[in-house]
Structure 1
Amino acid sequence: MLNEISQIKRPILGEEIPIVIFRAFRHFSANYTNDLIGERGANIIFQNAGRDLGKEVSLLIKDEKLDKYLENVQKFVRDAKIGIIIPVEVSHNHIILQLDECITCAGMPNIGKRICHFEVGFAAGLVESFMGKKVKAFESKCGANGEGICEVTLELNNV
């Protein structure tokens, strides 16, 4: 799917859009999905969609060595203006990644909840593709929850 949606023909308007427009599409979709199937179901849908995208992107940036792969992930995420990935901890049991300047929530006021479910899934898909197995992923911090930065914790042995 990534190949198809990457084909953009906007000779006058170009490829870039303001983040507020991206956020409007994203947040209105999330709110509508919440209303239809409930918050838990909507969060799962967004996380699974992110996971699928992470798996597709992993094919573009793959490497056999974890440190080089993480460098590729950092470069892709920054170049795509999704945010700035900061690896906090990498061990045999878990990986903790922070996402500074998160496209979904950086600069938002504290709304009292974590909302970056797509990014959680995206990180999970990237790690699952590298490891060749499922991982458990959750958002351990979120800018929209007043925590200053987004953070994804990936548990590697608990699935």
Structure 2
Amino acid sequence: MVLKFNINELSNTKRDKLGRNIDVLVFRLLRYMDLERYLGSAANRVYYECGKELGKSLEPNNIEDLIDFCEKYKIGYVEIVSENPLKIRVYECITCSGLPNVGKPLCYFEGGFIAGCLEKIFNKKVRATETHCAGLGNEFWQFDIKVY
């Protein structure tokens, strides 16, 4: 049996004393569990597809909804770098900001999330390719967006 919760169910915390906020460390501990040990190179694809499913499920109406969600839930500060071609940049990324340069991008989940939101907005297939990341030595992450 596969468990699936909608966004309203996930928002119901019932944490009267501790509240809704958690430290970035807890998020990163969950995010950087060693899935590659179990899934090999497919782990990053799993992260991307899970992010994509989440992005679609939020049913954003426009890019401003994506930007607002990221800021409200402290995923990062989103900026549209260019519209044609579409490039999206995020500062203070919850996943990678402050991490060392490891020579590879780290934000597959976020790329999928952006692609899923944009697929819902544009009603077309979208691919988000990460070009900048703390894992590559950058101060921000950036995605080049391809709409099909």
Instruction: Tell me the TM-score normalised to structure 2 length.
Output: 0.91
Out of 115, 132, 141, the residue aligned to residue 150 of structure 1 is 141
Q: 2:64 aligns with which of 62, 65, 71?
A: 71
Counterparts of 1:1-150 in structure 2, within 5 Å, are: 1-28=6-33, 31=34, 33-39=35-41, 41-57=42-58, 59=59, 61-62=60-61, 69-91=62-84, 94-150=85-141
Q: Which runs of 5+ in 1 are unaligned?
A: 63-68
Shift of 1:3: 2.0
1:42 is paired with a residue whose SS is helix
CA distance in 2, matches of 1:131, 1:152: 17
- Partners of 1:3 and 1:44 in 2: how far apart? 26
Runs (4+) of structure 1 exceeding 3 A deviation are none
- Cα offset, 1:71, TM superposition: 2.2
User: Percent identical across equivalent pairs?
Assistant: 34
The answer to whether the 8 Å contact 2:48/2:113 transfers is yes
- How far 1:45 moved relative to its partner? 0.4
In structure 2, what is the Cα distance between the partners aligned to 1:79 and 1:6? Answer: 13
> For residue 75 of structure 1, what is the amino acid of its counterpart?
D
Question: Which amino acid letter does the alignment assign opposite residue 67 of structure 2?
Answer: Q
TM superposition score normalised by structure 1: 0.85
How far apart are residue 81 of structure 1 and its match? 0.3
Secondary structure, aligned partner of 1:52: helix
Please say which of residues 133-142 and 76-85 is displaced more in the overlay. 133-142
The CA deviation string for residues 72-105 of structure 1, in whole angstroms up to 9 with x for no partner, is 22122111100000101112xx411001100001
More helix by share: 1
- Distance in 2 between residues matched to 1:113 and 1:143, nearest whole Å: 9
For residues 53 and 8 of structure 2, what CA distance do their matches in structure 1 show?
14
